[in-house]
Chain A
Amino acid sequence: ETGVTQTPRHLVMGMTNKKSLKCEQHLGHNAMYWYKQSAKKPLELMFVYSLEERVENNSVPSRFSPECPNSSHLFLHLHTLQPEDSALYLCASSQQLIGTEFPSVFGPGTRLTVT
């Protein structure tokens, strides 16, 4: 157990479904992230919530929408996905301080398959 948990671990959904991925961190960190890992591609940062600021990768389609109700919880809402969205979705958290660097701690990931 790394201190960052993700549910579900595996998800199969049709293109018309709506589902949500959940991430929870128990480390007292102040920043949370969603990454997408597709086969044979580098990890791609999708969204960052940090110090009440949200940063998003402009290439992420609107069918992905994040929600961060507090510093410990992060959701990724999915709707009308495409087969190419099948990937491993990794959540991470870190402690961010100005001028200081701390490593991100990752969760185990959700393996998503879109049929």
Chain B
Amino acid sequence: DQQVKQNSPSLSVQEGRISILNCDYTNSMFDYFLWYKKYPAEGPTFLISISSIKDKNEDGRFTVFLNKSAKHLSLHIVPSQPGDSAVYFCALDTGGFKTIFGAGTRLFVKA
């Protein structure tokens, strides 16, 4: 049973436009959510996070939104740049060191 779902395996966006990556989770007990970015031949890199006491966190071009009632998380990248092309993993920190990752969404930003 997948506790974290990223239903879009891939997303293609034009440079300069907004990229929106979505994530759904099943367990309302989770209280800390993260996005990681992964380039080929590299390990995942932390991008941005949000705790359950907030509904929005912004860091430069990256904003994460949390809708607890819908158990939905989204990452907005604006404006998108070709260097943003990577696989993006939504991750949930269950506490006690366990982090559950979604299957990932591959983002292509076209120049």
| Chains A and B are bound partners | no
